Chains A and B, each alone.
Chain A
């Protein structure tokens, strides 16, 4: 499946900003056998005075831009054409959750996909007794790690309501969990906290969803903006498995990956500092259109 993706981020400043510096993580990445980026571009208005693209620790494309002129608004446009290949269902070779620890211990490296990075706490995810108890409860019948992850995904999809007015980007996951509503970021953070709480390495995935569903299928939640889901480490044999708790589905060709991280902090689409006073308002628009394969 080939997609044309377009993202427009717009910032309006109450007072004109003097100098600004931003880090963007909006460009899809290449993933062998799964996703390849055919072309991409990133432009800004006003045109950034500095720009550098590099790969970060987790292998995501990070773009640093700076502005050195007075401006009242900033717009960033990212366009990419990406091919997403379907993956065949694999047999569930994952160990039982209680045996997963041995698999983890056998991994002695600190490479980006090492499960060690994705246990314990991270900037926005601290161990939460409530979420861990919930995870333990909904996964108790699971025979394998993968089935535990799947049960957690389904449970969250069932128990939490998608509500884009209930939380903000800085709402702690405990709050979203207590009120049982939130957006994809909250779904993902809660799922990560719960699975890590029962010893399963889990990472945060940021990316895009196709905007219009194929004929006869329902539109997925979260397609109007950048989306988030999770990736679960199911042992040495099976490796990482991606699940989308907001939509209660296993990730396949409708999802396009931009980045992996410990939580939102590692892959936030835009993070910036500028010398200005007053509030800034931000808007985000996303189009993900599938084009005919030739």
Chain B
């Protein structure tokens, strides 16, 4: 009664017999042989359905064209195409976080380039079933946060609800201001042995993956560009456009931005959050960007507080509000739930919607569906028994050979870690509320590329639903999780599985041409028109400061080794000055001194990672490259004579990054803060350097050193015909506004940036920052080079730092 293993000869027969009209041009024997070669290792396991073959062992017609296309490619062509897909993902910076023992590493996105192909009619069946389920879940949520009649009428055990941590008591009695608890859902769906689709899991709180679905699609179309263009694949962009419109309509005021609330860069989904924010024109915010005032939610921006009333929430409900929910949460916003209860904030989904992820509800949904709608579930969920009830518990205990014991909440355990049978009875009597017994779900298999051909691997679909003004819309494909080997393994990426695109193939050509690209018009301009969040500005400002700090240290480091290369000893006065005063290093070991630039580069990278949504991919790559290169000197011992060339490369990279900032970045407020950070740091560093230079105790050669560190040797030669002196050096690198390395130049630039920053609410005249900057600039203009002293320059640095503090106090908190 099950599909027997098929061998290649049978497969090729099947393929040749089931030519579709689309591919009606004759396929010759060599093509057929190529397909059978492709499938030589494809042997779906017994007892299960397969996406490629139907129950008779024939290739499902929807795959025919694709198989022939793939079979027609040489091994080299396949390799080139796969590389193209991966290259795309790396270029865009798609990654996910792997939670390890020590730290959360960024890993390449594990794309399996072979898509899963499904017919439009099959997809229609899945969609209809999931829409029914979405409506049912909405009814259950509305009841359990409202009158709880399902409990009073005995359709749901009170104990199940009371033991669901995600059922948030502070939300009981609150109607969501969008009118609905659920607006964006994901379901795990799998095909069982009989070919029937089953729901394996409900994601109702803050489902992830829709952004990855988009990226899967773009990458996969890079692998099969020509084929995709003619394959009648249903497009994904319309879904996002409709969802975007829904978010837009929920705003209290059309001037407001729409926020995407993320837990931040350490979360495994942060890339996706940044990507979706950019793609949909949403403002990416973290809990600390938000502040509650007078029953409204606001974003802290460089222009002051700006109201916001719609948040697409990717932060789990539990962490939203440390005052009323998880009190240890550092990710949330105090007062969040007060705003929700006041009806002034729509969150997608409503806080507390995640309680429906409790697997225990799956035991009751089939019956609830009949009670509430008079119909059966069109798409059944996997058979489930909730162990909080005596009889059900007994059933599970006596059927453990075919049922899996699974916790009601959280990720499915990686292995079949069943508690020891001896104390299971007692364990479940005490803890039964937190466990279900579920039928061990066999999953259908789908082709994956391995060793030059296709092999079968278990897969499940993740299907996304969004509520729009025309009701629920289903994202047609995009995301399947593919396992590594045996069928019972969970398919999570954390366990080494991969992900592939899903193509829903229409029987005939459809008109909609839109491939996923930035959503146009009103949508895309929205986020840009919004004031810059203060935290983003803060990170940009410090990114600038750290980069400049690193560059100054690299120059000093290079100069140090230049001196050693010309015969100086580390104990000579000039090298010692560099080591102690400029690199702040207690010893003259290469590693200790390299820390002076390694550390700021690492800090810069950390700042940039927090503002991934505002930072170009090229910029991120350049920084990553710089950070890797800057670690070389501390990771392995380097012969002294090689150091100058290594530092030379580093300097090229760091100045390249600064060039990127000034040549490529859009002149937004964000760019101003970044550039402001660079200028403030350089002005302060140069003032300190010149202060050291003017010390009475400064060693011989210090003026040449100052010019070298300020990259002003050539300018000095052109301006003065004499050897450098205190006066000429001060003139050139402190006061000369035409020298882009001078203190004056950077103070002027900082003053211009500050003048161009948005005014705070109701502000008249000069701000404190403008006043300070103007005072500094005036001083640089009227001071004379021979009047500058070491102490005076040190005091100048203190004033530049004070300006930085004022900028922080005025704009960045």
Residues of B within 8 A of A18 (CB): 813
Fill in one digit per residue for A92-130: 1 if any B CB lies within 8 Å of its CB, else 0. Answer: 000000000000110111100010110110010001000
Interface set of B (CB-CB < 8 Å, partner A): 144, 148, 151-152, 154, 157-159, 161-163, 169-170, 172-173, 291-294, 322-324, 326-327, 334-335, 338, 341, 430-431, 433-434, 813
Q: Give which listed residue, A21, A107, A110, A127, contacts B292 with CB less than 8 A.
A: A21
Given B154, B169, B324, B433, which contacts A120 in the complex, CB threshold below 8 Å? B433
Chain A 207-265 interface residues, beta-carbon cutoff 8 Å to B: 265
Closest A residue to B167 using CB positions? A110
In the bound complex, CA of A54 to CA of B295 (Å): 14
Q: Which residues of chain B come closer than 8 Å to A123, judged between CB atoms?
A: 326-327
Give the shortest distance, in Å, between B570 (CB) and chain A (any CB). Answer: 40
Known A-B contacts A56-B170, A66-B292, A108-B151; the reply to A21 vs B162 at CB < 8 A is: no
Give the distance to chain B from A48, nearest Cβ to Cβ, in Å.
12
* Residues on the A chain within 8 Å of B323, using CB: 21-23, 64, 271-273
Q: How far is the CB of B331 from chain A (nearest CB, A)?
A: 12
1/0 contact string of A64-107 vs chain B (CB within 8 Å): 10101000000000000000000000000000000000001101
A110 and B335: CB pair below 8 A? no
Contact at A109–B292, with CB atoms within 8 Å?
A: no
Whether B293 contacts A50 by the Cβ 8 Å rule is yes
For the complex, what is the distance from the CA of A116 to the CA of B144, rounded to whole Å? Answer: 14
Instruction: List the A side residues contacting B430 at CB < 8 Å.
Output: 127
* CB–CB A19/B291 < 8 A: yes
On chain A, the residues within 8 Å of B172 by CB distance are 57, 110
Cβ–Cβ contact A110 & B334, under 8 A: no
Q: Is the CB of B327 within 8 A of A52?
A: no
How far apart are A60's CB and chain B's nearest CB, in angstroms? Answer: 11
Contact (A116, B158) CB under 8 Å given A50-B294, A127-B430, A273-B322: yes
Q: Considering residues A105, A265, A273, which has the most beta carbons from chain B within 10 angstroms of its beta carbon?
A: A273
Q: Which residue of A lies closest to B168 (CB)?
A: A57
- List 5 additional contacts besides A23-B323, A57-B173, A108-B151; criterion CB under 8 Å: A66-B293, A108-B154, A116-B161, A119-B162, A127-B430
Q: Which residues of A contact B151 (CB under 8 A)?
A: 108-110
A-B pairs, 4 with minimum CB distance: A57-B169, A116-B162, A273-B334, A21-B334
Question: Which residues of the partner chain A approach B335 to less than 8 Å between Cβ atoms?
Answer: 21, 64, 66
Smallest beta-carbon distance B426→chain A, Å: 12
Set A66, A68, A114: member contacting B158, Cβ < 8 A: A114
Q: Which residues of B contact A57 (CB under 8 A)?
A: 169-170, 172-173
Across the interface, do B291 and A107 meet the contact criterion of CB distance under 8 Å?
Answer: no
A156 and B725 alpha carbons, distance in the complex (Å): 84
CB nearest neighbor in B for A109 = B152
List residues of chain B with CB within 8 A of the CB of A110.
144, 148, 151, 158, 161-162, 172
A19 to B163, CA, bound (A): 35
Q: Which residues of A contact B293 (CB under 8 A)?
A: 50, 66, 68
Complex interface: chain B residues within 8 A of A54 (CB): 341
In the assembled complex, the Cα of A78 lies from the Cα of B628 at a distance in Å of 59
Q: Which of B158, B327, B341, B431 contacts A271 (CB 8 A)?
A: B327
Q: Give the distance in Å from the alpha carbon of A45 to the alpha carbon of B322 in the complex.
A: 23
Per the bound structure, the CA–CA distance linking A107 and B157 in Å amounts to 9
Minimal beta-carbon separation of B607 from chain A (angstroms)? 20
With A52-B338, A57-B170 known as contacts, the answer to whether A114 contacts B162 (CB < 8 A) is yes
For residue B132, give the distance in angstroms from its CB to the closest CB of chain A: 26
The reply to whether A109 and B334 form a contact with Cβ atoms under 8 Å apart is: no
Interfacial chain A residues near B148, Cβ < 8 Å: 109-110
Question: B169: nearest residue on chain A (CB-CB)?
Answer: A57
CA–CA, A50 to B323, complex, Å? 15
Question: Hey, which chain B residues are within 8 Å of A23, CB to CB?
Answer: 323-324
B672 shortest CB reach to chain A, Å: 25
| Interface size of A in residues (CB-CB distance below 8 Å) | 32
Interface string of A15-44 (1 = CB under 8 A from B): 000110111000000000000000000000
Residues of A contacting B322 with CB < 8 Å?
A: 271, 273
Residues A108 and B158 in contact in the complex (CB < 8 Å), given A23-B323, A273-B323: yes
Name the residue of chain B whose CB is nearest to the CB of A18: B813
A-B contacts, 10 listed (Cβ < 8 Å): A23-B324, A57-B169, A109-B148, A109-B151, A110-B144, A116-B162, A120-B163, A120-B434, A271-B327, A273-B322
Interchain nearest-CB distance for A183 vs B (Å): 19
Residues in B whose Cβ lies below 8 Å from that of A117: 162, 169
What mask results when residues 266 to 289 of chain A are scored 1 for a CB within 8 Å of chain B, else 0?
A: 000001110100000000000000
Expressed in whole angstroms, the Cα–Cα distance for A105 and B391 within the complex equals: 13
A193 to chain B, nearest CB (A): 13
Measured CB to CB, the nearest residue on chain A to B433 is A120
Q: Which residues of B contact A107 (CB under 8 A)?
A: 158
Question: Within 8 Å CB of A50, what residues of B?
Answer: 293-294
Q: A228–B433 Cα gap in the complex (Å)? A: 28
> Chain A: which residue is nearest B330 at the CB level?
A273
Chain B's nearest CB lies how many Å from the CB of A159?
24
Q: Which residue of A lies closest to B158 (CB)?
A: A116
Q: In the complex, which residues of chain A have a beta carbon less than 8 angstroms from the beta carbon of B813?
A: 18, 275
What is the CA–CA distance of A18 and B338 in the complex, to the nearest angstrom? 20
Residue from the set B144, B151, B341 with the largest chain A CB neighbour count within 10 Å: B151
Report A115 CB to chain B, min CB distance, Å.
9
Q: How many Å from the CB of A25 to the closest CB on chain B? A: 11
Report A-chain residues with C-beta under 8 Å of the C-beta of B173. Answer: 57
Residues of B within 8 A of A116 (CB): 158-159, 161-163
- Cα–Cα, bound, A105→B322 (Å): 33
Are A109's CB and B158's CB within 8 A? yes
- B327 neighbours in A (Cβ, 8 Å): 123, 265, 271
- A56 neighbours in B (Cβ, 8 Å): 169-170
Measured CA separation A50–B294 after assembly (Å) = 7
- Chain A hits for B334, CB < 8 A: 21, 272-273
Q: Which residues of A contact B170 (CB under 8 A)?
A: 56-57
Q: What residues on B are CB-neighbors of A273 within 8 Å?
A: 322-323, 334
CA distance in complex: A124, B448 (Å): 47
Q: Which residue of A lies closest to B342 (CB)?
A: A52
Residue in chain A with minimal CB distance to B148: A110
CB distance from A26 to the nearest CB of B (A): 15
A282 smallest CB distance to B (angstroms) = 15
Residue of A nearest to B332 (CB): A273
**Residues of chain A lying within 8 A (CB to CB) of residue B341:** 54
Which residues of chain B are near A104, meaning CB under 8 Å? Answer: 159
Complex CA–CA separation, A162 to B697 (angstroms): 67
- Min CB distance A167 to B, Å, is 18
Find the residue from A22, A58, A109, A116 having the highest chain B CB count within 10 A. Answer: A116
Please give me the residue from chain A that is nearest to B288 by CB atom. A275
For A127, the chain B residues whose CB sits under 8 A away are 430-431
Residues of A within 8 A of B338 (CB): 52, 64
Residue in A closest to B326 when the chains form the complex, CB atoms: A123
Instruction: Name the residue on B nearest A120 (C-beta).
Output: B163
Which A residues touch B292, using CB under 8 A? 21, 66
A131 to chain B, nearest CB (A): 13
Complex Cα–Cα for A255 and B437 (A): 46
In the complex, which residues of chain B have a beta carbon less than 8 angstroms from the beta carbon of A275? 813
Residues of the A chain whose Cβ atoms lie less than 8 Å from the Cβ of B154? 108
Give the nearest-CB partner of B292 in chain A.
A21
Residue of A nearest to B294 (CB): A50
CA distance A129 to B361 in the complex (A): 29
User: Measured between C-beta atoms, what is the minimum distance from B66 to chain A in Å?
Assistant: 51
Report A-chain residues with C-beta under 8 Å of the C-beta of B158.
Answer: 107-110, 114, 116
Complex interface: chain A residues within 8 A of B159 (CB):
104-105, 116, 119
Find chain B residues with CB under 8 A from A21 CB.
Answer: 292, 323, 334-335
- Chain B nearest CB: distance from A150 CB in Å? 24
Q: Which B residues are in CB contact (< 8 Å) with A66? A: 292-293, 335
Nearest chain B CB to A236 CB, angstrom units: 14
Using CB atoms, name the residue of chain A closest to B156: A108
B275 CB to closest chain A CB, in angstroms?
Answer: 30
On chain B, the residues within 8 Å of A68 by CB distance are 293
| Complex Cα–Cα for A52 and B342 (A) | 11
Distance of A265 Cα from B169 Cα, bound (Å):
13
